[in-house]
Amino acid sequence: MTDAVLRERLRDVYWIGGGSGAGKSTVARRLADEYGLHVYATDDVMPDHARRMAPADSPFLTEFAAMDMDERWVSRSPETMLETFHWFRGEGFGLIVDDLLGLLGSLGPGPGVIAEGFRLLPRLVRPLLAGPGHAVWLLPTPGFRRAAFESRGSLLQIAGRTSDPDRALRNLLERDRMFTDRLRDEAGQLGLPVIEVDAAMTEDGLVKRVAEAFGWRGSEAADDLGQVG
């Protein structure tokens, strides 16, 4: 299927990518509630996608799955963790597209879908955009990301399962910082919008900023969403 055909079929998808802890899920849910959209959370389908990916098509996932927790998060540098993490490499992105096509087909005519998650890399999403106001990337500062994880009680969810939680946590946070920097550079090179998320940003303010990035100015815009594209 060509990019042009995919753009047409995905014209009612709005994409929210970004770094971990930026508030993507919260913003997507709130906008979906306000504008009558369906949310597709890419984090939720990661286990399913991992099961469906053949080793020949996912070498980084295959290597990662063979490691123990210390090999994943303690013994390797953050740079290596970033460069070899399967989702950051775009493995499985085709399954996201397949899911969205199936979801749109099942929903029928309507205002569409908000897809959200860190797996929505700018270089992969850009060819699929129906228009410039269909995607935005949220980029949290390191302090905001750590505070977000602490507030969720998930700061040590991964690191706490290693033999050296402190080192694993440092590695994870540094890897995520570099990933966010990479998203910023990639989006900038492609002319795609980003929103910097720091401690001064309220949830309401972030929701408003994302709505504005999509060109939505209020609840009255909901009636027109099905025609955008």
For residue 225, pLDDT beyond 70: no
Domain 3-227, second-level architecture: 3-Layer(aba) Sandwich (3.40)
* pLDDT tens-digit series, residues 104-116: 999 877 779 999 9
pTM: 0.90
**Residue 220 banded pLDDT, cuts 50, 70, 90:** very low
Write down the residue that tokens 């070899």 correspond to.
Answer: 84
How far apart, in whole angstroms, are the C-alpha atoms of residue 207 and residue 27? 5
* pLDDT tens-digit series, residues 97-145: 999 999 999 987 777 999 999 999 999 999 999 887 899 999 999 988 8
For residue 217, pLDDT beyond 80: no
* pLDDT tens-digit series, residues 15-59: 999 998 899 999 999 999 999 999 999 999 999 999 999 999 999
Give Cβ neighbours of residue 148 (< 8 Å, ≥ 6 apart). 21, 22, 23, 140
In the prediction, which pLDDT does 222 show? 44
For residue 17, the cross-strand partners are 137
Q: According to DSSP H, which parts of the chain are helical? A: 3-9, 24-35, 46-52, 59-65, 69-73, 78-84, 93-107, 122-125, 142-152, 165-190, 203-213
Domain edges within the chain: 3-227
Average pLDDT, the chain: 91
Q: How far is CA 155 from CA 6, 21, 116, 179, in A?
A: 38, 10, 21, 17
